[in-house]
Protein backbone atom coordinates (compact mmCIF):
# COMPACT_ATOMS: atom_id res chain seq x y z
CA UNK A 1 0.00 0.00 0.00
CA UNK A 2 2.99 2.31 0.59
CA UNK A 3 6.44 2.25 -0.99
CA UNK A 4 9.66 4.05 -0.15
CA UNK A 5 10.64 7.10 -2.22
CA UNK A 6 14.34 6.71 -1.53
CA UNK A 7 16.06 3.72 0.10
CA UNK A 8 17.89 4.59 3.32
CA UNK A 9 21.67 4.69 3.06
CA UNK A 10 24.72 5.18 5.28
CA UNK A 11 24.21 6.26 8.88
CA UNK A 12 20.50 6.67 8.28
CA UNK A 13 20.07 2.90 7.87
CA UNK A 14 18.66 0.70 10.62
CA UNK A 15 18.65 -3.11 10.22
CA UNK A 16 15.96 -5.18 11.86
CA UNK A 17 13.91 -8.32 11.32
CA UNK A 18 10.22 -8.11 10.49
CA UNK A 19 8.15 -11.30 10.13
CA UNK A 20 11.37 -13.28 9.82
CA UNK A 21 12.77 -11.17 6.95
CA UNK A 22 15.79 -8.85 7.20
CA UNK A 23 14.65 -5.27 6.61
CA UNK A 24 16.47 -1.96 6.21
CA UNK A 25 14.67 1.03 7.66
CA UNK A 26 15.24 4.76 7.98
CA UNK A 27 16.53 5.98 11.35
CA UNK A 28 13.81 7.93 13.13
CA UNK A 29 10.86 6.16 11.51
CA UNK A 30 8.50 3.87 13.39
CA UNK A 31 8.33 0.10 13.29
CA UNK A 32 4.91 0.45 11.63
CA UNK A 33 6.18 2.46 8.63
CA UNK A 34 9.19 0.13 8.34
CA UNK A 35 6.77 -2.81 8.17
CA UNK A 36 4.68 -1.06 5.50
CA UNK A 37 7.78 -0.19 3.46
CA UNK A 38 8.90 -3.82 3.71
CA UNK A 39 5.65 -4.81 2.02
CA UNK A 40 4.04 -6.47 5.04
CA UNK A 41 0.37 -6.86 4.14
CA UNK A 42 -0.95 -6.77 7.72
CA UNK A 43 0.33 -6.04 11.21
CA UNK A 44 -2.17 -8.07 13.23
CA UNK A 45 -5.50 -9.79 12.98
CA UNK A 46 -8.70 -8.72 14.67
CA UNK A 47 -9.01 -11.07 17.66
CA UNK A 48 -12.82 -11.10 17.36
CA UNK A 49 -13.22 -11.83 13.64
CA UNK A 50 -9.76 -13.08 12.68
CA UNK A 51 -9.58 -10.73 9.68
CA UNK A 52 -6.22 -9.10 8.87
CA UNK A 53 -5.65 -5.47 9.87
CA UNK A 54 -2.97 -2.93 8.96
CA UNK A 55 -1.97 0.47 10.39
CA UNK A 56 -4.80 2.96 9.89
CA UNK A 57 -3.77 6.22 11.63
CA UNK A 58 0.00 5.89 12.30
CA UNK A 59 -0.31 8.26 15.27
CA UNK A 60 -1.26 6.13 18.24
CA UNK A 61 -5.06 6.41 17.94
CA UNK A 62 -6.41 3.31 16.18
CA UNK A 63 -4.36 0.46 17.73
CA UNK A 64 -4.43 -1.49 14.44
CA UNK A 65 -0.62 -1.73 14.41
CA UNK A 66 -0.34 -3.84 17.58
CA UNK A 67 2.70 -6.09 17.02
CA UNK A 68 5.06 -8.27 19.03
CA UNK A 69 8.35 -6.40 19.33
CA UNK A 70 11.34 -8.21 20.87
CA UNK A 71 8.98 -10.71 22.44
CA UNK A 72 6.63 -8.17 23.96
CA UNK A 73 3.08 -8.36 22.56
CA UNK A 74 0.60 -5.49 22.12
CA UNK A 75 3.15 -2.80 21.25
CA UNK A 76 1.79 0.09 19.19
CA UNK A 77 4.28 -0.23 16.34
CA UNK A 78 3.58 3.33 15.14
CA UNK A 79 4.88 4.71 18.46
CA UNK A 80 8.08 2.63 18.60
CA UNK A 81 11.11 3.95 16.66
CA UNK A 82 13.10 1.33 14.74
CA UNK A 83 16.32 0.09 16.35
CA UNK A 84 19.13 -2.09 15.05
CA UNK A 85 18.60 -5.77 15.79
CA UNK A 86 14.91 -5.49 16.64
CA UNK A 87 12.75 -8.54 16.05
CA UNK A 88 9.19 -7.72 15.03
CA UNK A 89 6.31 -10.13 14.45
CA UNK A 90 2.74 -9.51 13.37
CA UNK A 91 0.35 -10.28 16.20
CA UNK A 92 -1.94 -13.16 15.31
CA UNK A 93 -4.56 -14.07 17.89
CA UNK A 94 -6.96 -16.97 17.49
CA UNK A 95 -10.54 -15.67 17.23
CA UNK A 96 -12.66 -16.10 20.37
CA UNK A 97 -9.94 -17.71 22.51
CA UNK A 98 -7.61 -14.73 22.65
CA UNK A 99 -4.53 -16.95 22.58
CA UNK A 100 -1.56 -16.71 20.26
CA UNK A 101 -1.94 -18.65 17.04
CA UNK A 102 1.72 -19.27 16.26
CA UNK A 103 2.67 -22.30 18.30
CA UNK B 1 11.99 10.18 45.20
CA UNK B 2 9.81 13.19 44.41
CA UNK B 3 9.45 13.99 40.72
CA UNK B 4 7.90 17.43 40.79
CA UNK B 5 7.79 20.54 38.60
CA UNK B 6 5.94 23.84 38.47
CA UNK B 7 4.26 23.15 35.14
CA UNK B 8 3.76 19.93 33.21
CA UNK B 9 2.79 20.18 29.55
CA UNK B 10 1.26 17.19 27.78
CA UNK B 11 2.04 17.21 24.08
CA UNK B 12 4.95 18.75 22.13
CA UNK B 13 3.04 20.13 19.16
CA UNK B 14 2.52 23.83 18.35
CA UNK B 15 0.42 24.50 21.49
CA UNK B 16 2.47 22.44 23.93
CA UNK B 17 5.80 23.89 22.77
CA UNK B 18 4.44 27.47 22.90
CA UNK B 19 3.11 26.92 26.43
CA UNK B 20 6.40 25.41 27.57
CA UNK B 21 8.50 28.22 26.07
CA UNK B 22 6.43 30.94 27.78
CA UNK B 23 6.48 29.17 31.17
CA UNK B 24 10.20 28.35 30.99
CA UNK B 25 11.04 31.94 30.01
CA UNK B 26 9.12 33.08 33.10
CA UNK B 27 11.68 31.16 35.16
CA UNK B 28 9.52 28.19 36.11
CA UNK B 29 10.49 24.52 36.00
CA UNK B 30 8.66 22.87 33.10
CA UNK B 31 8.38 19.25 31.94
CA UNK B 32 6.96 18.31 28.54
CA UNK B 33 5.74 14.77 27.93
CA UNK B 34 5.07 13.60 24.40
CA UNK B 35 4.28 10.35 22.54
CA UNK B 36 6.79 11.00 19.78
CA UNK B 37 10.58 10.70 19.69
CA UNK B 38 11.03 14.30 18.48
CA UNK B 39 9.10 17.55 19.07
CA UNK B 40 6.65 19.05 16.56
CA UNK B 41 3.35 17.22 17.03
CA UNK B 42 1.56 15.89 13.97
CA UNK B 43 1.56 19.08 11.84
CA UNK B 44 5.33 19.52 12.30
CA UNK B 45 6.02 15.80 12.51
CA UNK B 46 9.74 15.03 12.14
CA UNK B 47 10.38 18.58 10.87
CA UNK B 48 14.01 18.72 12.02
CA UNK B 49 15.00 15.56 10.13
CA UNK B 50 12.96 16.49 7.05
CA UNK B 51 14.71 19.88 6.93
CA UNK B 52 18.09 18.15 7.36
CA UNK B 53 17.41 15.79 4.44
CA UNK B 54 16.32 18.69 2.22
CA UNK B 55 12.69 17.64 1.77
CA UNK B 56 11.03 20.58 3.50
CA UNK B 57 9.83 22.01 0.16
CA UNK B 58 7.43 19.09 -0.31
CA UNK B 59 5.24 20.15 2.58
CA UNK B 60 4.72 23.89 2.16
CA UNK B 61 5.17 27.01 4.30
CA UNK B 62 2.99 25.90 7.21
CA UNK B 63 5.23 22.89 7.75
CA UNK B 64 8.41 24.91 7.32
CA UNK B 65 7.23 27.22 10.13
CA UNK B 66 7.87 24.30 12.46
CA UNK B 67 11.65 24.53 12.02
CA UNK B 68 11.89 27.78 14.03
CA UNK B 69 9.26 26.72 16.57
CA UNK B 70 11.08 23.48 17.36
CA UNK B 71 14.44 25.30 17.52
CA UNK B 72 12.99 27.84 19.98
CA UNK B 73 11.61 25.00 22.10
CA UNK B 74 14.94 23.13 22.03
CA UNK B 75 16.77 26.30 23.13
CA UNK B 76 14.91 26.45 26.47
CA UNK B 77 15.93 24.44 29.53
CA UNK B 78 12.61 22.58 29.52
CA UNK B 79 12.76 18.99 30.81
CA UNK B 80 11.57 17.33 27.58
CA UNK B 81 10.49 13.70 27.89
CA UNK B 82 9.93 12.13 24.45
CA UNK B 83 8.39 8.66 23.92
CA UNK B 84 6.24 9.20 27.02
CA UNK B 85 2.64 8.02 26.84
CA UNK B 86 0.23 9.73 29.24
CA UNK B 87 -2.18 7.24 30.82
CA UNK B 88 -3.94 9.47 33.32
CA UNK B 89 -4.05 12.51 35.57
CA UNK B 90 -5.03 12.77 39.23
CA UNK B 91 -5.65 15.86 41.30
CA UNK B 92 -3.05 16.03 44.12
CA UNK B 93 -1.53 18.61 46.50
CA UNK B 94 -2.96 21.80 44.98
CA UNK B 95 -2.03 20.60 41.54
CA UNK B 96 -2.05 17.33 39.71
CA UNK B 97 -0.12 14.11 39.19
CA UNK B 98 0.54 12.93 35.64
CA UNK B 99 0.78 9.17 35.21
CA UNK B 100 2.72 8.10 32.13
CA UNK B 101 4.61 5.25 30.50
CA UNK B 102 8.22 5.51 29.38
CA UNK B 103 10.83 2.81 28.71
CA UNK B 104 8.51 0.05 29.88
CA UNK B 105 7.83 1.70 33.24
CA UNK B 106 4.95 3.73 34.60
CA UNK B 107 5.96 7.03 36.20
CA UNK B 108 4.29 9.73 38.27
CA UNK B 109 5.09 13.42 37.88
CA UNK B 110 3.61 16.06 40.18
CA UNK B 111 2.92 19.51 38.73
CA UNK B 112 1.42 22.60 40.32
CA UNK B 113 -0.21 23.42 37.00
CA UNK B 114 -0.96 21.18 34.05
CA UNK B 115 -1.38 22.19 30.40
CA UNK B 116 -3.05 19.59 28.20
CA UNK B 117 -2.23 20.01 24.51
CA UNK B 118 -2.81 16.58 23.01
CA UNK B 119 -3.91 17.88 19.63
CA UNK B 120 -6.41 16.40 17.25
CA UNK B 121 -6.91 13.35 15.11
CA UNK B 122 -8.80 12.58 11.93
CA UNK B 123 -12.52 12.10 12.32
CA UNK B 124 -13.19 8.37 11.95
CA UNK B 125 -15.31 7.80 8.85
CA UNK B 126 -16.81 4.30 8.82
CA UNK B 127 -17.75 2.79 5.45
CA UNK B 128 -17.99 -0.74 4.13
CA UNK B 129 -14.47 -2.19 3.88
CA UNK B 130 -12.61 0.52 5.84
CA UNK B 131 -10.89 -2.14 7.97
CA UNK B 132 -9.16 -3.72 4.96
CA UNK B 133 -5.36 -3.43 4.78
CA UNK B 134 -4.68 -0.88 2.04
CA UNK B 135 -7.22 1.59 3.46
CA UNK B 136 -5.76 4.22 5.77
CA UNK B 137 -6.27 7.86 6.61
CA UNK B 138 -4.66 10.53 4.45
CA UNK B 139 -3.01 11.88 7.60
CA UNK B 140 -1.43 8.47 8.21
CA UNK B 141 0.09 8.49 4.73
CA UNK B 142 1.35 12.03 5.37
CA UNK B 143 3.06 10.82 8.58
CA UNK B 144 4.60 7.93 6.61
CA UNK B 145 5.91 10.44 4.05
CA UNK B 146 7.34 12.79 6.70
CA UNK B 147 9.00 10.03 8.72
CA UNK B 148 9.87 7.12 6.42
CA UNK B 149 9.64 8.89 3.07
CA UNK B 150 6.85 6.55 1.97
CA UNK B 151 4.43 7.18 -0.90
CA UNK B 152 1.07 5.58 -1.72
CA UNK B 153 1.29 2.72 -4.21
CA UNK B 154 -0.79 2.94 -7.35
CA UNK B 155 -3.55 2.60 -8.26
CA UNK B 156 -4.13 5.19 -5.54
CA UNK B 157 -7.55 6.62 -4.66
CA UNK B 158 -7.90 9.66 -2.37
CA UNK B 159 -11.36 10.20 -0.91
CA UNK B 160 -12.47 12.90 1.47
CA UNK B 161 -13.28 16.49 2.18
CA UNK B 162 -11.97 19.47 4.11
CA UNK B 163 -9.13 21.97 4.02
CA UNK B 164 -6.55 19.41 5.13
CA UNK B 165 -7.47 17.18 2.17
CA UNK B 166 -6.51 20.03 -0.16
CA UNK B 167 -3.13 20.35 1.57
CA UNK B 168 -2.49 16.60 1.58
CA UNK B 169 -3.30 16.34 -2.14
CA UNK B 170 -0.78 19.14 -2.82
CA UNK B 171 1.89 17.40 -0.72
CA UNK B 172 1.45 14.01 -2.42
CA UNK B 173 1.60 15.73 -5.80
CA UNK B 174 4.80 17.59 -4.82
CA UNK B 175 6.33 14.24 -3.83
CA UNK B 176 5.44 12.80 -7.24
CA UNK B 177 2.44 10.74 -6.16
CA UNK B 178 -0.74 12.52 -7.21
CA UNK B 179 -3.77 10.28 -6.69
CA UNK B 180 -5.09 8.44 -9.76
CA UNK B 181 -8.65 9.09 -8.65
CA UNK B 182 -9.91 11.83 -6.35
CA UNK B 183 -13.32 11.29 -4.78
CA UNK B 184 -14.63 14.54 -3.31
CA UNK B 185 -17.01 13.96 -0.44
CA UNK B 186 -17.84 17.63 0.04
CA UNK B 187 -21.16 19.00 -1.18
CA UNK B 188 -20.47 21.70 -3.81
CA UNK B 189 -23.87 23.22 -2.97
CA UNK B 190 -22.47 24.31 0.41
CA UNK B 191 -20.51 27.01 -1.40
CA UNK B 192 -23.64 29.15 -1.61
CA UNK B 193 -24.91 28.68 1.92
CA UNK B 194 -21.39 29.16 3.31
CA UNK B 195 -21.11 32.48 1.47
CA UNK B 196 -22.59 34.41 4.38
CA UNK B 197 -19.42 33.71 6.39
CA UNK B 198 -17.22 35.05 3.57
CA UNK B 199 -17.06 38.64 4.73
CA UNK B 200 -15.92 37.74 8.23
CA UNK B 201 -13.38 35.30 6.80
CA UNK B 202 -11.64 38.15 4.93
CA UNK B 203 -9.84 38.90 8.21
CA UNK B 204 -7.94 35.67 7.59
CA UNK B 205 -7.04 36.76 4.07
CA UNK B 206 -3.75 34.85 3.76
CA UNK B 207 -5.46 31.60 4.78
CA UNK B 208 -8.16 32.18 2.18
CA UNK B 209 -5.57 32.75 -0.55
CA UNK B 210 -3.76 29.59 0.46
CA UNK B 211 -7.04 27.64 0.32
CA UNK B 212 -7.91 29.00 -3.11
CA UNK B 213 -4.46 28.07 -4.42
CA UNK B 214 -4.83 24.49 -3.14
CA UNK B 215 -8.40 24.33 -4.42
CA UNK B 216 -7.29 25.39 -7.93
CA UNK B 217 -4.53 22.80 -8.16
CA UNK B 218 -6.49 20.04 -6.39
CA UNK B 219 -7.06 18.00 -9.54
CA UNK B 220 -3.65 18.63 -11.15
CA UNK B 221 -2.09 15.35 -12.16
CA UNK B 222 -5.22 13.45 -11.16
CA UNK B 223 -6.68 11.18 -13.87
CA UNK B 224 -10.25 11.37 -12.65
CA UNK B 225 -11.95 13.67 -10.17
CA UNK B 226 -15.45 12.77 -9.01
CA UNK B 227 -17.50 15.47 -7.27
CA UNK B 228 -20.07 15.07 -4.50
CA UNK B 229 -19.58 11.39 -3.70
CA UNK B 230 -22.18 10.22 -1.17
CA UNK B 231 -21.40 6.52 -0.92
CA UNK B 232 -18.01 4.84 -0.61
CA UNK B 233 -17.11 1.17 -0.40
CA UNK B 234 -13.83 -0.76 -0.32
CA UNK B 235 -13.59 -4.45 -1.16
CA UNK B 236 -11.04 -7.22 -1.49
CA UNK B 237 -10.02 -10.61 -0.13
CA UNK B 238 -7.89 -9.84 2.92
CA UNK B 239 -6.64 -6.59 1.38
CA UNK B 240 -7.95 -3.71 -0.67
CA UNK B 241 -8.59 -4.58 -4.33
CA UNK B 242 -11.36 -2.24 -5.46
CA UNK B 243 -13.15 0.96 -4.53
CA UNK B 244 -16.79 1.61 -5.43
CA UNK B 245 -18.66 4.87 -5.10
CA UNK B 246 -21.93 6.59 -5.88
CA UNK B 247 -22.50 10.31 -6.40
CA UNK B 248 -25.41 12.48 -5.28
CA UNK B 249 -27.02 12.24 -8.74
CA UNK B 250 -26.94 8.42 -8.55
CA UNK B 251 -23.98 7.77 -10.85
CA UNK B 252 -21.98 4.66 -9.88
CA UNK B 253 -18.26 4.20 -10.29
CA UNK B 254 -15.71 1.50 -9.59
CA UNK B 255 -11.94 1.24 -9.87
CA UNK B 256 -9.16 -1.15 -8.95
CA UNK B 257 -7.06 0.19 -6.10
CA UNK B 258 -4.03 -0.79 -4.03
CA UNK B 259 -4.22 2.23 -1.75
CA UNK B 260 -7.29 4.14 -0.55
CA UNK B 261 -6.64 7.17 1.64
CA UNK B 262 -9.60 8.80 3.37
CA UNK B 263 -10.02 12.08 5.21
CA UNK B 264 -13.06 13.66 6.85
CA UNK B 265 -11.60 16.58 8.80
CA UNK B 266 -10.16 16.49 12.31
CA UNK B 267 -11.62 16.39 15.82
CA UNK B 268 -10.09 17.32 19.19
CA UNK B 269 -8.22 14.51 20.93
CA UNK B 270 -10.28 14.89 24.10
CA UNK B 271 -9.58 11.40 25.47
CA UNK B 272 -7.79 12.71 28.58
CA UNK B 273 -10.09 15.66 29.36
CA UNK B 274 -13.09 13.33 28.98
CA UNK B 275 -11.55 10.72 31.29
CA UNK B 276 -10.96 13.59 33.79
CA UNK B 277 -14.77 14.15 33.74
CA UNK B 278 -14.36 17.74 32.55
CA UNK B 279 -17.73 18.80 31.05
CA UNK B 280 -17.66 18.67 27.23
CA UNK B 281 -19.98 20.52 24.92
CA UNK B 282 -21.00 19.57 21.39
CA UNK B 283 -20.01 22.37 19.02
CA UNK B 284 -22.66 22.12 16.30
CA UNK B 285 -20.75 24.11 13.65
CA UNK B 286 -17.55 22.10 14.13
CA UNK B 287 -19.49 18.84 14.74
CA UNK B 288 -17.18 18.02 17.64
CA UNK B 289 -17.21 17.67 21.42
CA UNK B 290 -14.91 20.20 23.09
CA UNK B 291 -13.86 20.53 26.75
CA UNK B 292 -15.37 23.53 28.56
CA UNK B 293 -12.65 26.03 29.37
CA UNK B 294 -12.14 29.74 30.09
CA UNK B 295 -10.68 32.14 27.50
CA UNK B 296 -7.15 31.38 28.69
CA UNK B 297 -7.79 27.63 28.61
CA UNK B 298 -8.47 26.87 32.27
CA UNK B 299 -10.65 23.78 32.36
CA UNK B 300 -14.05 23.96 33.99
CA UNK B 301 -14.16 22.50 37.51
CA UNK B 302 -10.37 22.54 38.05
CA UNK B 303 -8.15 25.23 39.49
CA UNK B 304 -4.98 23.74 38.09
CA UNK B 305 -5.51 22.26 34.64
CA UNK B 306 -5.57 24.01 31.26
CA UNK B 307 -6.27 22.91 27.71
CA UNK B 308 -4.66 24.49 24.63
CA UNK B 309 -4.41 24.06 20.88
CA UNK B 310 -6.67 21.82 18.81
CA UNK B 311 -7.31 19.69 21.91
CA UNK B 312 -9.61 22.55 22.98
CA UNK B 313 -11.35 22.88 19.58
CA UNK B 314 -10.08 22.86 16.01
CA UNK B 315 -8.50 26.17 14.97
CA UNK B 316 -5.23 25.07 13.33
CA UNK B 317 -1.56 25.44 14.21
CA UNK B 318 -1.22 29.24 14.20
CA UNK B 319 -4.04 29.58 16.70
CA UNK B 320 -2.57 26.69 18.69
CA UNK B 321 0.68 28.60 19.20
CA UNK B 322 -1.47 31.48 20.53
CA UNK B 323 -3.70 29.44 22.86
CA UNK B 324 -0.62 27.54 24.04
CA UNK B 325 1.18 30.79 24.89
CA UNK B 326 -1.95 32.13 26.63
CA UNK B 327 -2.34 29.01 28.78
CA UNK B 328 1.38 29.02 29.58
CA UNK B 329 1.27 32.69 30.63
CA UNK B 330 -1.89 32.22 32.68
CA UNK B 331 -0.51 29.16 34.49
CA UNK B 332 2.80 30.95 35.13
CA UNK B 333 1.02 34.03 36.51
CA UNK B 334 -1.07 31.85 38.79
CA UNK B 335 2.21 30.61 40.30
CA UNK B 336 3.40 34.18 40.84
CA UNK B 337 5.86 34.27 37.93
CA UNK B 338 6.04 37.15 35.48
CA UNK B 339 5.20 35.75 32.09
CA UNK B 340 6.26 37.88 29.14
CA UNK B 341 3.50 38.38 26.58
CA UNK B 342 4.30 36.85 23.21
CA UNK B 343 3.86 38.61 19.90
CA UNK B 344 0.42 39.15 18.44
CA UNK B 345 -1.30 36.35 20.36
CA UNK B 346 -4.80 37.84 20.05
CA UNK B 347 -4.24 38.76 16.38
CA UNK B 348 -3.30 35.20 15.47
CA UNK B 349 -6.33 33.88 17.30
CA UNK B 350 -8.69 36.41 15.71
CA UNK B 351 -7.49 35.55 12.20
CA UNK B 352 -7.95 31.82 12.79
CA UNK B 353 -11.40 32.34 14.31
CA UNK B 354 -12.46 34.57 11.41
CA UNK B 355 -11.93 31.84 8.83
CA UNK B 356 -13.36 28.97 10.88
CA UNK B 357 -17.13 29.56 10.37
CA UNK B 358 -16.58 29.56 6.59
CA UNK B 359 -14.56 26.33 6.75
CA UNK B 360 -17.08 24.67 9.08
CA UNK B 361 -19.93 25.62 6.72
CA UNK B 362 -18.08 24.51 3.58
CA UNK B 363 -16.91 21.20 5.00
CA UNK B 364 -19.36 19.52 7.37
CA UNK B 365 -18.47 15.89 8.12
CA UNK B 366 -19.24 13.62 5.17
CA UNK B 367 -21.02 11.31 7.61
CA UNK B 368 -23.71 13.96 7.99
CA UNK B 369 -24.96 13.11 4.51
CA UNK B 370 -23.79 9.54 3.95
CA UNK B 371 -25.83 6.83 5.69
CA UNK B 372 -23.90 4.06 7.46
CA UNK B 373 -25.14 0.70 6.20
CA UNK B 374 -26.00 -2.04 8.72
CA UNK B 375 -23.12 -4.26 7.57
CA UNK B 376 -20.47 -1.56 8.13
CA UNK B 377 -18.07 -2.19 11.04
CA UNK B 378 -18.21 0.86 13.30
CA UNK B 379 -16.14 -0.40 16.28
CA UNK B 380 -12.95 -1.66 14.67
CA UNK B 381 -11.44 -3.19 17.81
CA UNK B 382 -14.42 -5.40 18.58
CA UNK B 383 -15.55 -5.75 14.93
CA UNK B 384 -19.10 -4.56 15.72
CA UNK B 385 -21.37 -3.60 12.83
CA UNK B 386 -23.79 -0.66 12.73
CA UNK B 387 -26.71 -3.09 12.42
CA UNK B 388 -25.88 -4.69 15.78
CA UNK B 389 -25.80 -1.25 17.41
CA UNK B 390 -29.16 -0.30 15.86
CA UNK B 391 -30.62 -3.63 17.02
CA UNK B 392 -29.35 -3.14 20.59
CA UNK B 393 -30.78 0.39 20.63
CA UNK B 394 -34.13 -0.95 19.40
CA UNK B 395 -34.02 -3.55 22.18
CA UNK B 396 -33.78 -0.77 24.74
CA UNK B 397 -30.10 0.09 25.19
CA UNK B 398 -30.28 3.63 26.55
CA UNK B 399 -27.20 5.07 24.90
CA UNK B 400 -23.42 4.79 24.45
CA UNK B 401 -22.73 3.70 28.05
CA UNK B 402 -25.28 0.90 28.09
CA UNK B 403 -24.20 -0.18 24.60
CA UNK B 404 -20.87 -1.16 26.15
CA UNK B 405 -22.73 -3.75 28.27
CA UNK B 406 -24.78 -4.92 25.28
CA UNK B 407 -22.01 -5.11 22.68
CA UNK B 408 -18.60 -3.95 24.02
CA UNK B 409 -18.59 -0.96 21.65
CA UNK B 410 -15.64 1.18 22.66
CA UNK B 411 -14.14 -1.41 25.01
CA UNK B 412 -11.25 -2.64 22.86
CA UNK B 413 -7.69 -1.31 22.96
CA UNK B 414 -8.52 2.04 21.31
CA UNK B 415 -11.08 2.79 24.06
CA UNK B 416 -13.61 4.40 21.77
CA UNK B 417 -11.22 6.71 19.96
CA UNK B 418 -12.45 5.25 16.65
CA UNK B 419 -16.14 4.67 17.42
CA UNK B 420 -17.32 7.10 20.13
CA UNK B 421 -18.68 9.69 17.66
CA UNK B 422 -20.36 7.06 15.49
CA UNK B 423 -21.95 5.29 18.47
CA UNK B 424 -23.28 8.65 19.70
CA UNK B 425 -24.65 9.41 16.23
CA UNK B 426 -26.41 6.02 16.01
CA UNK B 427 -27.86 6.52 19.52
CA UNK B 428 -29.10 9.99 18.58
CA UNK B 429 -30.61 8.58 15.36
CA UNK B 430 -32.46 5.82 17.29
CA UNK B 431 -33.65 8.08 20.10
CA UNK B 432 -34.58 10.94 17.80
CA UNK B 433 -32.42 13.37 19.77
CA UNK B 434 -29.93 15.99 18.65
CA UNK B 435 -26.23 15.14 18.91
CA UNK B 436 -25.82 18.12 21.24
CA UNK B 437 -28.13 16.33 23.69
CA UNK B 438 -26.31 13.00 23.38
CA UNK B 439 -23.36 12.12 25.60
CA UNK B 440 -20.27 10.40 24.32
CA UNK B 441 -19.43 7.11 26.03
CA UNK B 442 -17.83 7.51 29.45
CA UNK B 443 -14.07 7.03 29.58
CA UNK B 444 -11.96 5.85 32.46
CA UNK B 445 -8.24 5.96 33.17
CA UNK B 446 -5.83 4.56 32.20
CA UNK B 447 -6.52 6.05 28.78
CA UNK B 448 -3.95 3.74 27.15
CA UNK B 449 -3.30 0.06 27.89
CA UNK B 450 -0.78 -0.60 30.67
CA UNK B 451 0.95 -3.89 31.49
CA UNK B 452 1.20 -5.17 35.07
CA UNK B 453 4.98 -4.96 34.69
CA UNK B 454 4.78 -1.26 33.77
CA UNK B 455 2.32 -0.58 36.58
CA UNK B 456 4.58 -2.26 39.14
CA UNK B 457 7.08 0.60 38.80
CA UNK B 458 4.52 3.25 39.74
CA UNK B 459 5.17 3.46 43.46
CA UNK B 460 8.79 2.38 43.79
CA UNK B 461 10.07 2.55 47.34
CA UNK B 462 13.48 2.23 48.99
CA UNK B 463 12.23 -0.74 51.05
CA UNK B 464 14.11 -4.01 50.79
CA UNK B 465 11.58 -6.40 49.40
CA UNK B 466 12.02 -10.13 49.97
CA UNK B 467 13.17 -11.93 46.84
CA UNK B 468 12.07 -15.40 45.90
Quote ipTM for the complex: 0.94
Of all helices (H) and strands (E), which one includes residue B8? strand B4-10
Domain membership of residue B415 (yes or no) is: yes
SS3 assignment, position B124: coil
Q: Which CATH class name applies to A12-90?
A: alpha beta
| Most A CBs within 10 Å, among B57, B133, B410, B449, to test the A interface | B133
- Per-residue pLDDT, B152: 96
pLDDT digits (tens, 9 = 90+) for A25-52: 999 999 999 999 999 999 999 988 899 9
CA distance B84 to chain A (A): 10
Q: Which residue of A has its CA nearest to B258?
A: A1
pLDDT digits (tens, 9 = 90+) for B139-151: 999 999 999 999 9
Please identify, among B229, B264, B299, the residue that sits at the C-terminal boundary of a domain: B264
> C-alpha distances in angstroms, B410 versus A96, B27, B183, B307, B424?
18, 42, 29, 24, 11
Domain membership of residue B363 (yes or no) is: no
| Distance in angstroms (rounded) separating the CA atoms of residues A84 and B375 | 43
Q: A31 at the B interface (CB within 8 A)? A: no
B410 φ, ψ (degrees, to nearest 5): 85, 10
- Per-residue pLDDT, B460: 67
| Same domain for B180 and B259 | yes
Share of chain B above pLDDT 90, in %: 80
Domain membership of residue B221 (yes or no) is: yes
| Distance in angstroms (rounded) separating the CA atoms of residues B210 and A71 | 48
Give me the domain span that covers residue B389.
Answer: 371-437
| Same domain for B380 and B298 | no
Q: Which residue of A has its CA nearest to B122?
A: A57
Q: Which residue of B has its CA nearest to A96?
A: B382
CB contact under 8 A, A29 and B35: no
Which one-letter DSSP state was computed for residue B349? Answer: H
Q: Which stretch of B110-119, B171-180, B233-242 has the lowest confidence by average pLDDT? A: B171-180
CB contact under 8 A, A63 and B381: yes
Q: A39 at the B interface (CB within 8 A)? A: no
User: Is residue A99 pLDDT above 70, yes or no?
Assistant: no
CA distance A97 to chain B (A): 14
CA distance A51 to chain B (A): 7
Q: How many domains does chain B have?
A: 3
Domain membership of residue B158 (yes or no) is: yes
Please identify, among B319, B339, B359, the residue that sits at the C-terminal boundary of a domain: B339
Please identify, among B264, B281, B313, the residue that sits at the C-terminal boundary of a domain: B264
Q: Which residue of B has its CA nearest to A81?
A: B37
| Same domain for B273 and B216 | no
Q: Considering chain A, what is the average pLDDT of its residues?
A: 92
pLDDT band at A103 (very low <50, low <70, confident <90, very high): very low
Domain membership of residue B326 (yes or no) is: yes
pLDDT band at B462 (very low <50, low <70, confident <90, very high): low
CB contact under 8 A, A42 and B38: no
pLDDT digits (tens, 9 = 90+) for B429-445: 999 999 999 889 999 99
CB contact under 8 A, A54 and B134: yes
> Both ends of chain A: CA-CA distance in Å?
29
CB contact under 8 A, A1 and B238: no
* Domain residue ranges of chain A, discontinuous segments joined by +: 12-90
User: Is residue B26 pLDDT above 50, yes or no?
Assistant: yes
Domain membership of residue B90 (yes or no) is: yes
Average pLDDT of the residues in B215-235 = 89
Domain membership of residue B114 (yes or no) is: yes
Supply the CATH number for residue B386's domain.
1.10.10.1100
Share of chain B above pLDDT 70, in %: 97
Strand B229-235 to strand B288-291: parallel, antiparallel, or no bridges (unpaired)?
unpaired
SS3 assignment, position B315: coil
| Same domain for B328 and B220 | no
pTM across the whole model: 0.95
Which residue among A37, A51, A56 places its CB closest to the CB of B140?
A56
User: Is residue B71 pLDDT above 80, yes or no?
Assistant: yes
Q: Which stretch of B123-127, B305-309, B372-376, B461-465 has the lowest confidence by average pLDDT? A: B461-465
- Per-residue pLDDT, B368: 60
Amino acid sequence: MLRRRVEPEGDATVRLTIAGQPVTALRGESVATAALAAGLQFTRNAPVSGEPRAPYCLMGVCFECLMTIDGQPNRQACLVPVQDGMNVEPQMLRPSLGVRDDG
Amino acid sequence: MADSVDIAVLGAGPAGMAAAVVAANAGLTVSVLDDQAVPGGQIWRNVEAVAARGDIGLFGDDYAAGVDAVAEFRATDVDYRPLSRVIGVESADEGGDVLYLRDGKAGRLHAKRLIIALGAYERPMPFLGWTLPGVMTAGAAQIALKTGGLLPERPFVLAGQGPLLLLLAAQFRAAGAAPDILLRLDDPGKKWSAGKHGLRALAGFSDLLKGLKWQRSLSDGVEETVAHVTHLEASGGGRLEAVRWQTADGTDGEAEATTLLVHDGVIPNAQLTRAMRIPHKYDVAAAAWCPEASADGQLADTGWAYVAGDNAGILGWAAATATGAKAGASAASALGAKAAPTNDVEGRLDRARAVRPLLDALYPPAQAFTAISDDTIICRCEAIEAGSVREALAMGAQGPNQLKAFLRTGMGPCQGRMCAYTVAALAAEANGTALADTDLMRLRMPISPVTVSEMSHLNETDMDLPTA
